[in-house]
Amino acid sequence: MTQALRLGIAGLGTVGVGVVKIVRRHADLLQARTGRPVQITAVSARDANKDRGVNLSDYAWETDPVSLAKRDDVDVFVELMGGENGPAKASVEAALASGKDVVTANKALLAIHGQELAEKAEAAGRVIRFEAAVAGGIPVIKSLTEGLAGNEITRVMGVMNGTCNYILTRMQSQELGYNALFEECAQLGYLEADPNLDVGGIDAAHKLALLSSIAFGTKPNFNGIEIEGIQQISLDDIHQAHDMGYRIKLLGVAQRTARGLEQRMQPCLVPSDSPLGQLEGGTNMVVLDGDAVEQIVLRGPGAGEGPTASAVMGDVCDLARGLHIPTFGRPAASLEEAKPAVTGLPAPYYLRLGLQDKPGALAKVASILGDAGVSIDRMRQYGHAESTAPVLIVTHKTTRATLDVALEGLRDTDVIAGEPVALRIEEV
C-alpha cells in the first residue's frame, strides 16, 4: 500500500475544523484522486477541551505548534493560526527546517515574510502552498502558477474582501449608512479582531501583494501598495455613482507600467454592468489579464469554513500527488525587487465636495482644478437646505499625484467644508 500523507494541523478555528471534516468525510475520495491515503496524525490549538463539533480523539495533541511542526509523524504542516509573526512564523520555520512542506491560509505572514520563507523552503527542498490565503475558495493561485503559466500577465484586479463588498452592496440595496452596516457586520462576526484589517483595506492588500508577486515575478512588496479603506464612503457617493452608471467597490489593482509596478487597494467606481459591478454580498472576484488568454474572471466565496478548507485541501492533494512548485511560481532567487510606480496610470476621478454657499465659490473650485492641470468632464450641484452645497465633479483622465495637488489647493481655500472625497473610476 502506498504510504499515507500525514498532516499536522495547527489552528482549530473555523478553517481548521473544516479541514478535519473534509479529511474525515472524503477519505476514500482523497485517496482515489491522489493515489495515496491522506490522514491527520496530530493537531494543535490553545484549548484542548473546547468543543469544536468534530471528533479529535484520534489525533495526537500538541499545545505548542512548533512541537507539532517538528513531529516525525507529520509530513505536511498545515498552519491555520494566522498572524504575521509569533507562533505562526516560528512554527512554519520549524516545519521547513524539519524537512516538511507547508500549507497555510496566512496571507499576512506571506505578504510580510514571504520572500524570506520562500528562500528557506527552497534551501530545504520543500514548498509552501497558500491557495487558501487569497480569495477563499477561488483557485486563483493555481490559475496563475499553472493554468496561465504560458501568459505574460498584464493586470491583476479584483474584489478580495467580502466584508467590504457586503457593506458597499448593502448600502445601496438597503439604504443603510456605513456606520450601521459596520455594526451589523460586527454582530454577524464578519469582521477581523482588528476591524481595520477589513474596512481599512489591509486584509485585501495582503492578498494583492501575493498575487502581484506571482503575476509579475517580484518579491512580495506589501509596503509598496497604496491602501485606502471604505470608511469615507457615504450613501450620497453610492447614489451618485449609481446615477452615473457605476458601483463603488474596494478594488485591488496590480499592473506593471513604464513608471514601475503599480499596486493599489482603494475604493473605485466600476461600470455597473461589468462583472465586478454586478458582484453582490460577501462574494470575491479576481480578474486576470494575460497576453494570450486576454481576460478571465474568477468568482466565488472569499471566506468561510467550507470554501477556505476546500482551498487548503486542494494544496494538500497536490502535495500528495508529488506536485512541487516554487512558492511564488518561480525560484525565489529569481524574483526581482519590486520597483513601485512613482505615479499611477491616468484615470478619470469622481470628486465630492462640500461647497460653502458663497458667491464665486464654484468658480474658485474650477480655477484651482484648472491651475493644477485637472480638467472637468462634468459637474453637478445638488439641492441643499443648509449653508453647504454638495457638488459632484467627474474629471477627465489625470494622475492621482496631479489630483492631490488640486485637492491640497482646495483645502487651503475658504469655500470647501469638510474633507473632499476622491475616488478613481477604473476601466474594467
- Summarize the annotated binding site for L-homoserine as residue ranges: 192
Amino acid at 286: V
Q: For residue 354, what are the contacts with CB-CB under 8 A and spacing of at least 6?
A: 388, 389, 390, 391, 416, 417, 418
* Residue 119: partners with Cβ closer than 8 Å, 6 or more residues away: 332, 333
How many C-beta neighbours within 10 Å does residue 137 have? 19
Locus of grid cell 482644478: 369
8-state DSSP, 9: E
Catalytic residue positions, numbered: 207
Annotation: binding site: 107, 192
Question: Which amino acid type is present at position 392?
Answer: L
Output 362-366 pairs: Cβ under 8 A, ≥24 positions apart.
Answer: 362/391, 364/413, 364/415, 365/391, 365/393, 365/410, 365/413, 365/415, 365/416
Q: Decide if 131 contacts 106 (C-beta within 8 A).
A: no
d(CA 2, CA 88): 31
Look-up of cell digits 513601485: 340
Q: What cell numbers appear for 320 in the block?
A: 500528495
- Tell me whether strands 260-271 and 246-257 are parallel, antiparallel or unpaired: antiparallel
C-alpha cell at 116: 524570506
Classify strands 388-395 and 376-381 as parallel, antiparallel or unpaired. Answer: antiparallel
The rounded distance, in Å, linking the Cα atoms of 147 and 155 is 16
Q: Parallel, antiparallel, or unpaired for β 283-290 and 294-301?
A: antiparallel
**Binding-site residue positions for NADPH:** 107
- Calpha distance 165→250 (Å, rounded): 7
**Cα distance from N-terminal residue to C-terminal residue, the chain:** 51
Q: Where are the beta strands (DSSP E) in 16-100?
A: 38-44, 60-62, 76-79
The C-alpha atoms of residue 143 and residue 150 are separated, in whole angstroms, by: 11
Asked if 266 and 422 touch (Cβ cutoff 8 Å), the reply is no
